[in-house]
Structure 1
Amino acid sequence: MAAAALYTFTMSKPATLGAVPNDSAAKKHHNKNGKGFTNPWDSWRDFNPISLMGTMVGGMVTGKTRWPDTTPPTVTVIEPKFLATREESTTLRATWLGHACYYVEFPGGLRVLFDPVFEERCSPFSFMGPKRYTKVPCHIKDLPIVDVVAISHSHYDHLSHPTILEIQKRHPKAQFVVGLGLKKWFNDTGIENVVEMDWWDDVDLTMSPTSGEKRISTTSSTTPTSSSDITARISCLPCQHISARSPFDKAHTLWASWAIESGGKKVWFGGDTGYRAVPELPKDVDDYGPEYADLPHCPAFKEIGELRGPFDLGLIPIGAYDPRWIMSPMHANPFDSANIFVDTKCKRAMAIHWGTWVLTTEDVLEPPMLLKKAMKGKGLPETGVFDVCDIGESRDF
């Protein structure tokens, strides 16, 4: 359907357009006796946020928990170089803008921004909360085109109110795609160009570069309706995480990963996810060792790979995992990340969710070192397949 005006968006209800698991109709991730959502797998372990905070604070008081050193040098930050026009987009090109934020330029001209947060702090407050130890590589005004903004979930390191307002100001036609329940937050912010989706929902996007209008339906395909059209299929897919923007709305909105296909290339964005819940173990014990190798892992990633893959590029989280027994249900460590890479059938991958804010206690440069070890342990190349890069760096795929 065509957008009625510059700041409004009309669409039919998202629908399942691709293959899905046999049990998808059961909607097991929907809470049956209350509001919101859950992770419906044995690989998930729920937690009490107050107890979690108490454990972390107690560890700092006793000296068992120490925040990592962020003294420079840490992660190199360079000024990104974007393609100024759609006509220049002949390959799949991805630029890391820090933490989970990636700017992806698809062949044919579609431009997608994932989990943008451009503020100094990932916090509801501008004066407190985690502060960047690596600088922001650019500003929203430097992005030449933004067509789609995909949001994985509502946590402050993935969804920023000031950033969203600035995107809407500078790119008023940008289409936001979010998980169920988050549309109201955007509407309350004054943004109407938002589509909320459930796991395994799809929408087909058609853009006319001459009129600048976007049209979304659930019946068309990714085949252009005219030679000048840009088309894409956007798919909301599972991950293992949680959501909240206050102590009172835990799991009220849906967390998700995203797949976007356009110009003959397909990208999977993991957003923020765990893979398996690990018990509290001594620091020198490998939780992938023989005794723990059979701990349940999230089956959704193999389903994504088998039903919606393969993907030309995966954007996969590798950081914010220590203390492991606390963080493992919702944050992957690099050994989990390597398994997610294989499960989702990504041909190549780039690492996200590290190098920007101190959210947990691992050393800030540990994730990329462990990623090499994890890839080698799976018999895969240490570099050239699942890589890290400088903040602001672009890679072609």
Structure 2
Amino acid sequence: MTTKSKVSGGTLAATLYTYTLSAPATGAAPEVAERKAHHNKSGKGFVNPWDSWKHRSGGQIVWAMISRRLFGDLNSPDTTPPTVSVVEPTFLQSRTSSQSLRATWLGHACYYVEFPSGLRVLFDPVFEERCSPFSFIGPKRYTKPPCYIKDIPVVDAIVISHSHYDHLSHPTVLELHKNHPNAQFFVGLGLKKWFANMGIHNVVEMDWWSDIDFTLSKAYPEKRASTSSTSSSPSSNINARISCLPCQHMSARTVWDTAETLWCSWAVESGGKKVWFGGDTGYRAVPRLPKGVDDYGEEYKDLPYCPAFKQIGDLRGPFDLGMIPIGAYDPRDVMSPMHANPYDSVNIFADTKCKRAMGIHWGTWVLTAEDVLEPPKLLKQAMKKKGLPETGVFDVCDIGESREF
């Protein structure tokens, strides 16, 4: 597969680029990948093919939350300010401004990553007030977006982990397409149709363990200084490899389309730097336990864990940066199959062989019952328990803050 399209540098640079997509030889994958066990045997939709997964329907999850609320067994998180600090982000003004990898947290699971090659990638953007199919009901932000879509200077690629409303937003996608009409979307199997229904066709859908080479070249060749002839400079190309990888989660936008589209984690490599984006994932299914019982304690430490992350680390790592979910985990027995808590997150960090990591999937909407500032506190405890530094390796930051790696 090879396709081409024109990509504007937006306000970042006047240079126009064309992009080329090509499917390279399949990268390293575990032997089980060929079985495609995550494809539902019915021929429709997908499954989590591991013992670490326990399926619960949306109705079961809702009832579990409501019943605990009725019996006073569910915490009500306090969102009274101050919570997570929000700062105005700054973005590089040139594609060649930095030789480092630069990552800016835009809230929840959304990260804007500036690669030293010049590539600019936006992960799971949602800029709406509510993560809901409705504008008037559903989880409402307790921290504001640090910027507007129009403030982002250039977007070459937009990576979507799955179809849940806190990761895929109809209004955000439309506005991104309006402001960055040639940005290329990368999505899991089954989601391309959703975009096509909005008139957006620069979309590639991918399966786990598949790869795409993404190349941006200057649309107009440069003149050589010694002659009047033109040729494109090899150094002007921006090359990237984008890889769709497994995670343990679920998808749905209605009660009728559960698991019809694929949930994914992603790797992006460009300019000698490589990142892994966890999106949204669980690690192990934990039973309901009495309060205060450690589910990583001696009795429960051998519960099955998702093997995909170690496979990712062994076959595709190491990564310079991991963007790893740390929130939306309480009640633990209800949420653990699909949402990691910080102790899970640290294990995912180790399994995937990330050199550094930033915590995502917290600090924006109340989706579950843990206190809104609990995830970063538990992250430090989890790092200490793992024998790792509490700061400087797997961190959190202000919304809108940039870090270099």
Q: TM-score, normalised by structure 2?
A: 0.92
CA distance in 1, matches of 2:192, 2:386: 40
Whether contact under 8 Å (2:52, 2:304) holds in the other structure is yes
In the alignment, which of 292, 304, 326 is matched to residue 284 of structure 1?
292
CA distance in 2, matches of 1:15, 1:335: 36
Number of residue pairs the alignment of both structures matches? 385
| Alpha-carbon distance change, 225 to 44 in structure 1, aligned in 2, over 3 angstroms | farther
1:179 aligns to 2:180 (yes or no): no
**What letter corresponds to residue 366 of structure 2 in structure 1?**
V
**What letter corresponds to residue 29 of structure 1 in structure 2?**
H
1:138 aligns to 2:147 (yes or no): yes
For 2:326, the equivalent position in structure 1 comes to 318
- The structure having more radius of gyration, on CA atoms, is 2
In the alignment, which of 232, 238, 245 is matched to residue 253 of structure 2?
245
For 1:236, the equivalent position in structure 2 comes to 244
Where has structure 1 moved over 3 Å in runs of 4 or more?
A: 4-12, 209-212
Whether contact under 8 Å (1:209, 1:230) holds in the other structure is no
1:27 aligns to 2:36 (yes or no): yes
1:158 aligns to 2:167 (yes or no): yes
**What letter corresponds to residue 298 of structure 2 in structure 1?**
P
1:78 aligns to 2:87 (yes or no): yes
Whether contact under 8 Å (1:16, 1:201) holds in the other structure is no
Question: What pairs with 1:191-206 in structure 2 (closer than 5 Å)?
Answer: 191-206=200-215
Summarize deviations over 1:134-172 as a string: whole Å, max 9, x none.
Answer: 011001000001000000000000000000001100001
Of 57-66 and 87-96, more deviation after overlay is shown by 57-66
| Alpha-carbon distance change, 6 to 81 in structure 1, aligned in 2, over 3 angstroms | closer
SS state at 1:165 partner: helix
The offset of 1:209, in angstroms, is 3.3
SS state at 2:236 partner: coil
CA distance in 2, matches of 1:300, 1:16: 21
The offset of 1:225, in angstroms, is 8.4
1:58 aligns to 2:67 (yes or no): yes
Question: What pairs with 1:327-338 in structure 2 (closer than 5 Å)?
Answer: 327-338=335-346
CA distance in 2, matches of 1:211, 1:257: 35
For 2:226, the equivalent position in structure 1 comes to none
CA distance in 2, matches of 1:4, 1:309: 30
Question: What pairs with 1:11-26 in structure 2 (closer than 5 Å)?
Answer: 14=23, 17-26=26-35
**What letter corresponds to residue 143 of structure 2 in structure 1?**
T
CA distance in 1, matches of 2:283, 2:190: 24
In the alignment, which of 255, 278, 283 is matched to residue 263 of structure 2?
255
Summarize deviations over 1:150-199 as a string: whole Å, max 9, x none.
Answer: 00000000000000001100001100000000000011111110000000
**What letter corresponds to residue 4 of structure 2 in structure 1?**
A
In the alignment, which of 361, 366, 378 is matched to residue 374 of structure 2?
366
**What letter corresponds to residue 249 of structure 1 in structure 2?**
D
The offset of 1:64, in angstroms, is 1.6
The offset of 1:91, in angstroms, is 1.1
CA distance in 2, matches of 1:30, 1:384: 39
1:3 aligns to 2:4 (yes or no): yes
For 1:268, the equivalent position in structure 2 comes to 276
For 1:221, the equivalent position in structure 2 comes to none
The offset of 1:9, in angstroms, is 8.7
SS state at 1:203 partner: strand
Summarize deviations over 1:54-113 as a string: whole Å, max 9, x none.
Answer: 121122222222320000110000000011221213210000000000000000210000
In the alignment, which of 291, 306, 326 is matched to residue 298 of structure 1?
306
Q: TM-score, normalised by structure 1?
A: 0.94
For 1:36, the equivalent position in structure 2 comes to 45
Summarize deviations over 1:207-228 as a string: whole Å, max 9, x none.
Answer: 013459xxxxxxxxxxx98221
For 2:54, the equivalent position in structure 1 comes to 45
Of 124-133 and 1-10, more deviation after overlay is shown by 1-10
Whether contact under 8 Å (1:236, 1:258) holds in the other structure is yes
SS state at 1:315 partner: strand
Summarize deviations over 1:360-397 as a string: whole Å, max 9, x none.
Answer: 00000000000000000011000000000000000000
Of 151-160 and 14-23, more deviation after overlay is shown by 14-23
Summarize deviations over 1:33-73 as a string: whole Å, max 9, x none.
Answer: 24100000000000121122112112222222232000011
For the aligned residue pairs, the C-alpha RMSD in angstroms reads 1.8
